[in-house]
Structure 1
Amino acid sequence: MFTAVGLFHLGRSTQVAAIARRTGHSLRTYQLIGLVEAAGGPGLLLGLGVTPLGIAAGFGLTRFMTGAVIKHLRVGDGLKQWPASAILAALTTHCSLRVSAR
């Protein structure tokens, strides 16, 4: 999920540019956000075998998604934009805690 969304954000489509503008980011900054998201997916998968990597990726993505929720709320996005970030933040928190408890 993170990799697919990140790759979308790395693009230069008019939709990506519009989202970047709406959230107050430059297209370049938004693409860097996409890079972090795209790297998070493989980090979580590799973390299944390398526990410290999984914990770091999970907590990093949790903070990242929490920031996304805050940003969406600050710019006045409705229920269509921010719940996915909130759900992903909760899931990555849960997974990180489970991995760290091993």
Structure 2
Amino acid sequence: METLMFIAYAVVGGLLALVLTASATFTLQRNDQIVASMQKVRVPDAWLPRLATLKAAGAIGLVAGLWVTPLGVAAAIGVTLYFIGAVISHLRVKDYDLAPAAALTAVAAAALALRILA
């Protein structure tokens, strides 16, 4: 059973790491859609590099978590909290176009559960 959970974590964590890497890259490049989304929820422009760094660190931690369990757990917790914050940011400004943030919260929570169970 542990092997199956580990494989599931590898898939979910790996895919989430890819999404985080792409998002971090687009954020650093100040992609128009990313910037518009951040402005909609009133994130200061100066925060974009910091948020991109958090996403990149999460991606690295999820992948490193394949070998170092506590690091994978910590990264999954951090990514889950990041996206909970994103959902709260959307709700705070009454922007209900939060499906991507909510979905990524669920995926990050799944990665966390799978890493703990593996």
Q: TM-score, normalised by structure 2?
A: 0.74
Structure 1 residue ranges without an equivalent (≥5): none
From 76, 80, 88, the equivalent of 2:94 is 76
Aligned partner (choices 83, 88, 95) of residue 104 of structure 2: 88
Runs of 4+ in 1 over 3 A off after TM superposition: 12-20
Matched letter for residue 94 of structure 1: A
CA RMSD after TM alignment: 1.7
Change (3 A) 1:84 1:17: closer
Which one is further off, 54-63 or 37-46?
37-46
| Higher RCO (CA < 8 A, seq sep 6+) | 2
Q: Any residues of structure 2 matched to 1:1-102 within 5 Å, and which?
A: 1-79=19-97, 82-102=98-118
Change (3 A) 1:89 1:17: closer
TM-score (norm 1): 0.83
Comparing both structures, which one devotes a greater share of its residues to helix? 2
1:42-69: per-residue Cα shift (whole Å, max 9, x none)?
2111111110110000011001101101
CA shift for structure 1 position 31 = 2.3
Identical positions, percent: 35
Question: Relative to 1, partners in 2 of residues 1:63 and 1:22: Cα closer, same or farther, differing over 3 Å?
Answer: same
Q: Number of residue pairs matched? A: 100
Unaligned runs of 5+ in 2: 1-18
Offset, 1:101: 2.3
